[in-house]
């Protein structure tokens, strides 16, 4: 599974925005911008993200690289990409570029979730993705809302990691289902993602203690 493409792979520079009143880069934007860079890359256009893990927040732009060894400085997280026929996978790293962000874009979580349904007793949610938002934005916003409803005290829930069994690009226009499978000490949550009964993956949130 972990075969590598021959030759040196390009570094991908992510030109990221801030969203709303946030002064840090959102995980959903990192995901979307990295997917976009993959599609536009001559060497990697047939590949998609299969995993992303965040270690630290940043207020700077991010570089994605495919070095064989773990970077010694500026490491913000890691990711994996998978080939179109899902028989090859490669690891990459998210690195703080040091370059500042100049764009601020609007983002209305309440509008995104306006037609969604949350069953707090059953620890489930159904998210209808509005056309002006992406699937990952809807998944992250829905997971955050579900976690905050189940365990609202003691800190802020943040996007920690995502592992995919199917490409999110296949979900455009579909309703997304979220189901909590595990919560540890009200500080770690694991949620299964599906669409039309098809398993999509697992997202994990952690509580940032304030």
Written out in words, the top-level CATH class of the domain with range 109-208 is: alpha beta
| Cα 89 from Cα 50, distance rounded (Å) | 8
Q: How confident is the model at residue 85 (pLDDT cuts 50, 70, 90)?
A: confident
154: phi > 0 → left, psi -120 to 50 → alpha, else beta; which? left
Of 41 and 107, more confident: 107
Strands 104-105 and 18-19, by their bridges, are parallel
| Percent of the chain whose predicted confidence (pLDDT) is above 70 | 94
- For the cut 90, the answer to whether the pLDDT of residue 135 exceeds it is yes
Q: What is the pLDDT of residues 17-49, one digit of tens each?
A: 999 999 999 999 999 999 999 999 877 888 999
> Is residue 129 a contact partner of residue 142, using CB atoms and an 8 Å limit?
no
- For the cut 90, the answer to whether the pLDDT of residue 186 exceeds it is yes
Q: For position 168, what pLDDT does the model report?
A: 85
What residue spans define the domains of the chain? 12-105, 109-208
> Is residue 15 a contact partner of residue 101, using CB atoms and an 8 Å limit?
no
DSSP β-bridge partners for residue 93: 65, 78
- For the cut 90, the answer to whether the pLDDT of residue 182 exceeds it is yes
- For the cut 90, the answer to whether the pLDDT of residue 67 exceeds it is no
Kindly report the pTM of this predicted structure: 0.92
Place of tokens 């021959």: 6
Nearest alpha-carbon partner for 142 in 175, 105, 186, 185:
175
- For the cut 60, the answer to whether the pLDDT of residue 153 exceeds it is yes
Q: For position 169, what pLDDT does the model report?
A: 72
Q: How confident is the model at residue 113 (pLDDT cuts 50, 70, 90)?
A: very high
Which tokens sit at 168? Answer: 């999110």
Q: What's the longest Cα–Cα distance across the chain?
A: 52
- Three-state helix/strand/coil letters over the chain: CCCCCCCCCCCEEECCCEECCCCCCCHHHHHHHHHHHHHHCCCCCCCEEEEEEECCCCCEEEEEECCCCCCCCCEEEEEEEECCCCCCEEEEEEEEEEEECCCEECCCHHHHCCCCEEECCCCEEEEECCCCCCHHHHHHHHHHHHHHHHCCCCCEEEEEEEEECCCHHHHCCCEEEEEEEEEECCCEEEEEEEECCEEEEEEEEEEECC
Q: How confident is the model at residue 6 (pLDDT cuts 50, 70, 90)?
A: very low
Average pLDDT value for the chain: 91
Q: How confident is the model at residue 202 (pLDDT cuts 50, 70, 90)?
A: very high
């Amino acid at each position: 599974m972990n075969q590598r493409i021959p030759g040196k792979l390009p570094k991908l520079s992510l030109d990221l925005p801030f969203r709303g009143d946030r002064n840090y880069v959102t995980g959903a934007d990192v995901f979307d911008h990295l997917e976009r860079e993959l599609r536009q890359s001559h060497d990697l256009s047939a590949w998609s993200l299969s995993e992303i893990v965040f270690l630290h927040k940043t207020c700077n732009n991010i570089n994605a690289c495919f070095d064989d060894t773990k970077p010694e400085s500026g490491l913000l997280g890691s990711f994996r990409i998978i080939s179109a026929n899902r028989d090859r996978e490669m690891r990459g790293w998210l690195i703080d570029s040091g370059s500042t962000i100049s764009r601020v874009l609007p983002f209305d979580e309440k509008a995104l979730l306006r037609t969604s349904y949350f069953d707090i007793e059953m620890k489930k949610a159904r998210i209808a993705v509005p056309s002006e938002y992406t699937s990952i934005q809807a998944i992250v916003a829905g997971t955050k809302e579900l976690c905050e409803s189940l365990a609202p005290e003691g800190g802020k829930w943040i996007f920690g990691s995502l592992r995919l069994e199917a490409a999110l690009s296949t979900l455009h226009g579909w309703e997304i289902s979220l189901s909590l499978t595990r919560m540890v000490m009200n500080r770690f949550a694991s949620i299964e993602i599906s669409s039309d009964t098809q398993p999509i993956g697992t997202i994990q949130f952690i509580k940032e203690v304030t």
